[in-house]
Structure 1
């Protein structure tokens, strides 16, 4: 478990470094207020809270795109923009190249095509060589996981739709959940280019604040949301690469909020007070967004943190034992945090067949060569194999189960003769809880209006004394 949290800490530090660069760029080129607003949104937004420390390909792409966008905003770092973008999408997620494309094109045009292109090519070659060497070491043959990933999803005919599909509004609703009104304000940010031009024309001596370059820096946000919304298979993590840019775009919009009002109102005898109040309401708007973001994070923590807590209560085995302990998981397989949460190597996880028809993860088999050979039941169709399930449930020493108020479901925990609870924690029942009250944690309302199940770690009654 210490390894798990150490990795998360390291990822958090990398995220903090890239976001600090973005804040510094906003502070220098857009003004201290935009920099401060960006910092506050990055620190408190629920979306960045989840994405910043996730060990996922899309998170690594987020780091690269955030840093590249910051360098675009600063200006004059064209080689670094292209090199970082290339390395980021190859180390992270190749499909994020589309999000980084406007940053790369801008740098190629603005920085001198030949030298900037060479920097990107060198970064690509170095990253691919290291990636292929790592693949050769672990897979035992010459291959490229980057190429394989693209080929499977684009050219194989299998595609990601095997893993579920969602409607075109999925990402808009999801982004609103994670960023609330700051996402709406971020979508308004392209209007700042018009406002900047309007102000520049009316006041020629007013210095340029860098909003044209800001539009380039945040352009991955709009391209990525539009493209991903057209894809059938959607997951929240797919939007991670542009999360920090939502905060930057929203911050810039909040800072110029009063400029969205008609220009004539500023000079009108009876309407000028509206502009005055809107300008001074910016801290209230920001405060409301931050409060909602905090409530969203609290809702996730109080409603769904049970899996991270339950595995902590697995008892350590006796030091001199040679026995093994099996932790069985049924339909809660998708919330298993990782094997790092098992107390020792004497523990292992087994899946129970609760009706899931897809492919489940399995450990590499040392007898077949470890990482050089895929487990026998793996396939490219996302079809379940009988081998992935534990046939004899009597071999389970511990059981993870979520009990919800469902009449059509029988729970193993009800068999008191076989199982006794080790740890219990309530778990938010999203199907029976109203969307408006479950999404944000408001004291008393959240407790009263939502429904909860019970997340349990169970122990077999007749287990051996060594466990």
Structure 2
């Protein structure tokens, strides 16, 4: 039953995402032509990155909804108040730092729509959203506070810094975006040149009608600002790029549609080179088809290589309906792949963390005896330092165990203790460190199986568990 709640929430989020992306596709269809709209739709549907981002219950996902809708309204034109109001609400409900991505849309609307009235619309949206946010915080935390203000203060002014949670190199987002969008990301980065191409066509004879590419450049500008800004930050995570995911598809679609125009204009009239332009123009379906095929291969790689955590918890046995006992599922260094408590069969199950060397903070359930959400756990701190209280000291209290076994000589796995543990479920898991990047990222039959290395993801059960479990 709990898992049904998880997927119901995902379904609702998917519907919201579909509505915002449908608006974006409709805007592309109306202002850039049916072919761009169709290409955008196909890229959105097949992209593994958009699939993951659209149904994630994350602040960056809510910002993605808002920026996608605001960009669509910019493309349609004449909706300046709505653009600013939606951007403000989406940033505050979602992720305050995404304000930088929404900034060009807001500035464009303020300039184009009449500053005073558009500004009032944004101010009203900001005030209403902040009031609702503070009231919600007051209800759940039992005191007057603002989670939005606290988030900004901690990350910007507290001096702690997000680097406590890990750092990555400047190419992280480019490589990550290529994995999720392959060549469509490369084509998206070329989209600003469409403004030059349109100007070239406009100045030539016969003149071609305006296709709205200057407004397109405004609509997709969050893509370039956000990628550049986030690449300069030391702490990087894939989810931080979510706000501009749909814009990658729109920018790539517009580039594919005008792919032949990237060739020199003189080639079209050249006796021997005109055939190149002719072939490139007709190769657009092949380019799109190749991108879609690679996107499908990426999805297959994620499913076959990393789906074990989503499957393992399904095999936890249900407890007897009338039992008063509880079962403890212990997790060590696989804590970061725990999907959520919704994957536990019932409220009689609970999760405990084992100390496998992790030195950071781990999530803890709210304690009803201390006031539930109104009382912060005592061991929480702003330094991301682990506390002994977050780990289960006595492993004999574990009824079930989640463990990933990889081919490592420096590790001892609990599953090797056959007298204490027996496997309930096993599934192979892609070993990222031992598998080449070029073969693990995309699923190519035979090559993927042969070239990559795998570990075993296990759900284990204690041999002497109680009869009620």
Which band: TM-score by shorter chain?
over 0.9
Task: Give the match for residue 115 of structure 1.
Answer: 117
Q: Structure 2: how far apart are the matches of 1:206 and 1:426? A: 56
After the TM superposition, which of the residue ranges 122-131 and 204-213 deviates more from structure 2? 204-213
TM-superposed CA distance for 1:166, in Å, is 0.5
3-state SS of 2:310 partner: helix
Q: Quick one: distance in 2 between partners of 1:231 and 1:452?
A: 32
Whether the 8 Å CA contact 2:44–2:246 is kept in 1: the answer is yes
The whole-number CA distance in structure 2 between the counterparts of 1:173 and 1:336 is 25
1:315 corresponding residue in structure 2: 317
Q: Deviations over 1:177-209 (max 9, x none)?
A: 100000000000000000000000113642100
Give, in angstroms, the shift of residue 365 of structure 1.
1.1
Deviation at 1:320, TM superposition (A): 1.2
Contact 2:201/2:207 (8 A) holds in 1: no
Per-residue Cα deviation, 1:25-49 (whole angstroms, up to 9, x for no partner) = 0000000000000000000011101
Shift of 1:118: 0.4
For each residue in 1:304-354, what CA deviation from the matched residue of structure 2 results, as whole angstroms up to 9, or x when unmatched?
A: 000000000000001111001000000000000000000111100000000
Q: Distance in 2 between matches of 1:242 and 1:190?
A: 16
Instruction: Report the CA distance between 1:3 and its aligned residue.
Output: 0.4
Structure 1 gaps, min length 5: none
The answer to whether 1:381 aligns with 2:383 is: yes
> Residues 6 and 342 of structure 2 are in contact (CA less than 8 Å); yes or no, is this contact kept in structure 1?
yes
How far the C-alpha of 1:401 sits from its partner, in A, is 0.2
Shift of 1:62: 0.2
Deviates more, 1:198-207 or 1:316-325: 198-207
Cα distance between partner residues in 2 of 1:189 and 1:205: 21
Distance 1:298 1:95 in 2: 32
Contact 2:223 2:247 in 1 (8 A): yes
2:137 is aligned to 135
Q: Secondary structure at the match of 1:226?
A: helix
Q: For residue 461 of structure 1, report the CA deviation from its aligned partner.
A: 0.3
Aligned to 2:397: 395
Once the two structures are superposed, residues 226-249 of structure 1 have per-residue CA deviations (whole angstroms, 9 ceiling, x without a partner) of: 000000000000000000000000
Please, which of 80, 83, 87 is the counterpart of residue 82 of structure 2?
Answer: 80
Structure 2 unmatched ranges of 5 or more: none
Q: Distance in 2 between matches of 1:447 and 1:206?
A: 51
Q: SS in structure 2 opposite 1:424?
A: strand
Q: Which residue of structure 2 lines up, in the alignment, with residue 439 of structure 1?
A: 441
**1:430 match:** 432
Shift of 1:376: 1.1
Deviations 1:92-120 (A, max 9, x none): 00000000000000000000000000000
Counterpart-to-counterpart distance in 2, 1:117 and 1:137: 30
Aligned-partner Cα distance in 1 for 2:134–2:47: 36
In the alignment, the residues of structure 2 paired with residue 188 and residue 462 of structure 1 have an alpha-carbon distance, to the nearest angstrom, of: 62
RMSD over aligned Cα atoms: 0.6
CA contact (8 A) 2:191 2:255 kept: yes
**For residues 195 and 208 of structure 2, what CA distance do their matches in structure 1 show?**
15
Helix, strand or coil for the counterpart of 1:117? Answer: helix
The separation in 2 between residues aligned to 1:130 and 1:103, in whole angstroms, is 24
**Structure 1 length-normalised TM:** 1.00
Give CA deviations for 1:157-177 in whole Å, capped at 9, x if unaligned.
011110000111110010001
Report the Cα offset of residue 367 of structure 1: 1.6
Aligned length: 467
